[in-house]
Amino acid sequence: MRVGTKGDCPVDRSMGDGYTCNRWVYEDEWMPKTARAAGYSLFELIILMVVLSVVCYFIFLNESSFTTETPEEMEAIAVEMVRVGIHNYAIRSNQVQRKPVYPLRLDEAPEDSVASPETPLFTAVFPQGLQSGWYKFKENQYMYGPGASKNAPESRIYYYDSVRGSFTKEKPAKDLRTVRLER
């Protein structure tokens, strides 16, 4: 925008005072340098979006590269978490003097169930249950990890013993309480 001047002072053309100016100055010559519009330019915003996209790609799509646990270590962690849940249940049972100390069943999910939000497993020891990673083979028999199904080898099955509160790969010994459960 061009502005006419009268002496040293810029004059707005819209004043209508009939002044005719032979000399024109551009805004840049008399406006202070700090009068630039605030904010970022479109180019700067596009560069920012590209940089953020690259960062998000490495964070979210390559998330598995951040985990250093092997599948065996992940299974050991998941099993220990269930054992801790059973132990915490026993502590609460002793505090409120509940008998039996350990739950008879770890959940009410049907046999041959995969842990999901619709059928969480281990609801007796975890308020929300576990919703992924586990497969319920039979009553108090579970498998962890991908490929867990009825056709999986028996060596992958974890057994819950409600008398001792154990969660191991060893079959529990039959006793009167276990026989009562099977009826």
* pLDDT one-digit tens code per residue, 108-149: 999 888 899 999 999 999 888 888 889 998 889 999 987 777
Whether pLDDT at 22 is above 60: no
Closest by Cα among 59, 79, 89 to 157: 79
Q: Read off the pLDDT of residues 168-179 as tens digits, 9 standing for 90 and up.
A: 988 887 755 545
E-only strand ranges, the chain: 2-6, 9-11, 24-26, 113-114, 134-138, 141-144, 158-161, 166-168
Task: Write out pLDDT tens, residues 71-95.
Answer: 888 889 999 999 999 999 999 988 8
Question: Is the pLDDT confidence value at 46 over 80?
Answer: yes
